[in-house]
Amino acid sequence: MSTTTQSPTTPEARTPGRTARLLGDRRLPVLVTAGLFLVMYVVGLSRYQNYGFAEPQVFMNLFIDNGYLLVAAVGATFVILSGGIDLSVGSVIGFTTMFTAWLVERQGLPIVVVIPMALAVGAFGGFLMGYVIHNFEIQPFIVTLAGLFLFRGLCLVISKESISIGDASVSSMAQTQVSLGGAFLSIGAVVALVVLAVAIYVLHFTRFGRRVYAIGGNEQSALLMGLPQGGTKIAVYTVSGFCSALAGLLFTLYIQSGDPLHATGMELDAIAAVVIGGTLLTGGSGYVLGTLFGVLVLGLIKSIIQFEGTLSSWWTKIATGVLLCVFILVQRAMTSRRT
């Protein structure tokens, strides 16, 4: 009679299981991005401590200088979580700056009237793109690319030249500061943080948010479960259009002008922030909080380059490209482990 002996489980044999569990944790990309931001900030503190990098206002400036990008990236997060893509973000932002400047400066409308009009146009544009994507079953890449050209063309229809905004109410809003002890935030930064908080609640604590994750994770399964696939898809693009228009308003306050070339390529910055923040490009996995850290990492890269003083601003693009490659590889490792 033969006996079967079992070799004892060694720590080496358990290591792959631990690695698989680690790569299968949906929180891993967010933790990696948060850790990257912390390391970069500590390096900045140690290297530029004699240049004022440790001042609280330097940290607050990350929100002031990137508030509009955060809002745009939040809208892009909804779309990417659902398994889609929105290439019209930058053009909607640029159109909103032109639309706002034209109505305020050329038509004499008060900014409080222009704001809801701009938001309505952005949301309606997102609604139309979502409607076409769902009802005509066209790839989001193609439809939103058409939206990119449409809104950029509308910028040139309004004016081929930059329109400066000299309205006193706009200047007052742009210069308003919210004091936080020894530092301050701008109105745009406060609005961006409010949008972030609302997005976190909607995506993680509402039925609509669960539908977005379900459709992005497995569209066919969501359909079999009876989830309103069409309505959810249209809604996420409407949200993205609304957020893009709001980002355009914040950018208008930040730069106080409208220009046909404003925010050119910003849709790529928004998508990069979402991916670096840990949201899977295939959809169904990610956190809005990760998008915040993605935006902060991109903003911190710009700040470090400015403090360095000897580097070209193009190093921002190089660093962003390297980070994108790294995080896409991490995403690939995570998805392969799950399958």
Residue 285 lies in a domain: yes
Residue 122 lies in a domain: yes
Residue 154 lies in a domain: yes
SS3 helix, strand, coil % of the chain, rounded to 5? 75, 5, 20
Residue 7 confidence (pLDDT) above 50: no
**Distance (Å, rounded) from C-alpha 249 to C-alpha 68?**
8
218 pLDDT tier (thresholds 50, 70, 90) = confident
Q: How many CB atoms lie within 10 A of CB 7?
A: 6
Which CATH number is 294's domain given?
1.10.3470
Residue 210 lies in a domain: yes
**Distance (Å, rounded) from C-alpha 306 to C-alpha 163?**
28
Domain holding 159, by residue range, is: 28-46+55-338
Q: Structurally, how many domains does the chain consist of?
A: 1
The stretch 85-104 carries a mean pLDDT of 97
Q: What does pTM read for this prediction? A: 0.91
How many CA atoms lie within 13 Å of 298's alpha carbon, on the beta-carbon side? 28
Mean pLDDT score across all residues of the chain = 90
Residue 32 lies in a domain: yes
Q: What pLDDT score was predicted for residue 15?
A: 47
Residue 294 confidence (pLDDT) above 50: yes
Residue 23 lies in a domain: no
Residue 11 lies in a domain: no
Residue 10 lies in a domain: no
Q: What pLDDT score was predicted for residue 12?
A: 47
**Distance (Å, rounded) from C-alpha 170 to C-alpha 173?**
5
The stretch 116-135 carries a mean pLDDT of 97
Residue 3 confidence (pLDDT) above 70: no
Q: What pLDDT score was predicted for residue 2?
A: 47
